[in-house]
């Protein structure tokens, strides 16, 4: 159970959570009618000068501006990129919220999605040191990796439950850090559509990308810095948690301390909850699928059924079942394959979890533990694949029990090489596979991966 963020923040005076600041704030609106942004600008105008940037005069207005530039605008114009670069290079403070910069209007026709300019987006990603991977999430939990001024009053390494601003969740995107520094983490789940609980089974892939993602990335560029935030925080000002982050985000002292210590923050290894390097290892963050099976030919259990967030499922066409099943202790991943099915003939099925961030470190030892239960299982295993940036892979495989058996814990240890060839680090991440290679029924639960100290 996570502590209530409201109770947590009520214990701290809000005057102590934010630094005073009088630097001007430039705002590039997403649209002419943006009530969330309008209310935020009105509140900020009481303590600082506000400059509203216009699309037609963006370059000239920004040329002599010195302060913060805040925007959540998706559609950028190609000719804005160079002025943005010059602004940050000379010491400007750029803050992109949520989907900001996702589309670039390549031909100035206002159709950002269809006129997207890949080179322009690539240049904007280089400026921020990160990119938007997917959209359409809400935040479940937040965690701070280092005691930095952006998160004054937050406990380092501690998961804090995020408030639900509305039934559809907050507008969050999933970020992928490149050269940027990963300052804080957020556990994301896919938004629930308005027409019902869960989401269409045919679109279940959207759930597979749930899991931990950067909340904030920071990237030094020239004398300035660009910060990208997963959420449109000005939409969330009713939340004490996000209000505190936003206030600190727009304070000069925060940026001065971040720039002075950015390399230190980038080297801090996050403390994972309970020591588990996997997300949703207890299989209790679930989606309820009510509408369709995964495929037309999939004789999966009757709707509705549950899907475990953060876990991918692979299987060949034929008789298979892969889902989260209720057990006496909660829920578990479940695989089934029968003799003679195409799924069995082509190598079985598996669950997998891909972690894009480098959570495994060279030269260190790890333990993988899994609780499983089986019925007539023929060949089941677990494997970890460690992906290097040059495309090479380091694999470790472990056999799981076969036959029919009650819940049993299996533990395996492995070590990664201390050295890899120069220029081959850092790794892109790792993938954990849980296989049912031939036939049978098997349940997986309490899946944990942790460093051996």
- Report which of residues 446 and 192 the model is more confident about: 446
Q: By C-alpha distance, which of 224, 235, 192 is closest to 72? A: 235
What mean pLDDT value characterizes the chain? 77
- Which of 282-291, 332-341, 375-384, 393-402 is least confident? 282-291
**Average pLDDT of 356-375?**
82
Confidence class for position 204, pLDDT limits 50, 70, 90: very low
**SS3 call for 44:** helix
List, for residues 101-158, the tens digit of each pLDDT value: 888 888 777 777 777 888 899 999 999 999 998 887 888 788 887 778 888 878 777 7
pLDDT given for residue 320 in this prediction: 43
Q: CA 398 to CA 368: how far, in whole Å?
A: 10
402 contacts 448 by C-beta, under 8 angstroms = no
**Full set of structural domains in the chain with CATH:** 5-271 (3.40.50.880), 286-451 (2.60.120.260)
Is pLDDT above 70 for 290? no
List, for residues 70-108, the tens digit of each pLDDT value: 998 888 888 899 999 999 999 999 999 998 988 888 877
**SS3 call for 341:** coil
Per-residue DSSP letter, 271? -
pLDDT given for residue 152 in this prediction: 81
- In this prediction the pTM is 0.67
For the chain, helix, strand, coil in percent to 5 are 20, 40, 40
**Average pLDDT of 341-370?**
72
List, for residues 317-342, the tens digit of each pLDDT value: 433 455 777 787 788 998 887 665 55
List, for residues 224-250, the tens digit of each pLDDT value: 999 999 998 888 877 888 888 998 999
């Amino acid at each position: 159970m996570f502590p209530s963020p409201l109770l947590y923040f009520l214990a701290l005076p809000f005057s102590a959570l934010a630094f005073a600041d009088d630097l001007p704030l430039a705002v590039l609106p997403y649209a002419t009618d943006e009530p969330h942004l309008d209310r935020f600008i009105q509140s900020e105008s009481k303590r600082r000068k506000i400059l509203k940037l216009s699309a037609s005069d963006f370059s000239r207005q920004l040329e002599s501006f010195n302060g913060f530039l805040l925007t959540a605008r998706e559609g950028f114009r190609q000719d804005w990129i160079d002025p943005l670069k010059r602004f940050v290079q000379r010491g400007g403070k750029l803050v992109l919220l949520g989907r900001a910069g996702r589309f670039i209007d390549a031909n100035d026709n206002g159709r950002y999605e269809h006129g997207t300019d890949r080179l322009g987006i690539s240049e904007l990603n280089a400026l921020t040191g990160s990119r938007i991977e997917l959209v359409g999430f809400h935040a479940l939990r937040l965690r701070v990796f280092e005691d930095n001024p952006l998160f004054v009053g937050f406990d380092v390494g501690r998961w804090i439950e995020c408030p639900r601003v509305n039934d559809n969740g907050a507008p969050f995107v999933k970020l992928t850090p490149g050269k940027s520094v990963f300052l804080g983490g957020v556990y994301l789940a896919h938004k629930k559509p308005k027409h019902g609980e869960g989401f269409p089974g045919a679109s279940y892939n959207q759930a597979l990308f749930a899991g931990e993602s950067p909340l904030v990335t920071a990237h030094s560029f020239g004398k300035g810095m660009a910060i990208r935030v997963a959420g449109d925080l000005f939409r969330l000002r009713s939340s004490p948690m996000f209000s505190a982050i936003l206030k600190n985000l727009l304070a000069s002292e925060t940026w001065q301390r971040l720039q002075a210590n950015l390399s230190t923050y980038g080297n801090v290894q996050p403390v994972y909850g309970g020591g588990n390097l996997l997300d949703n290892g207890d299989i209790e963050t679930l989606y309820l699928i009510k509408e369709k099976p995964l495929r037309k030919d999939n004789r999966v259990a009757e709707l509705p059924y549950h899907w475990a967030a953060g876990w991918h499922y692979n299987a060949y066409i034929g008789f298979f079942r892969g889902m989260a099943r209720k057990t006496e202790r909660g829920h578990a991943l479940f695989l089934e394959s029968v003799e003679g099915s195409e799924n069995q003939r082509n190598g079985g099925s598996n669950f997998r979890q891909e972690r894009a961030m480098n959570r495994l470190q060279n030269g260190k030892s790890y333990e993988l533990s899994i609780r499983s239960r089986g019925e007539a299982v023929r060949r089941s295993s677990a494997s970890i694949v460690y992906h290097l940036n040059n495309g090479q892979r380091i694999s470790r495989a472990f056999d799981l029990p076969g036959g029919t058996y009650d819940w049993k814990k299996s533990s395996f240890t492995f070590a990664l090489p201390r050295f890899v060839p120069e220029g081959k680090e850092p790794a892109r991440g790792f993938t954990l596979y849980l296989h049912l290679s031939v036939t049978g029924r098997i349940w997986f639960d309490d899946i944990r991966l942790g460093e051996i100290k």
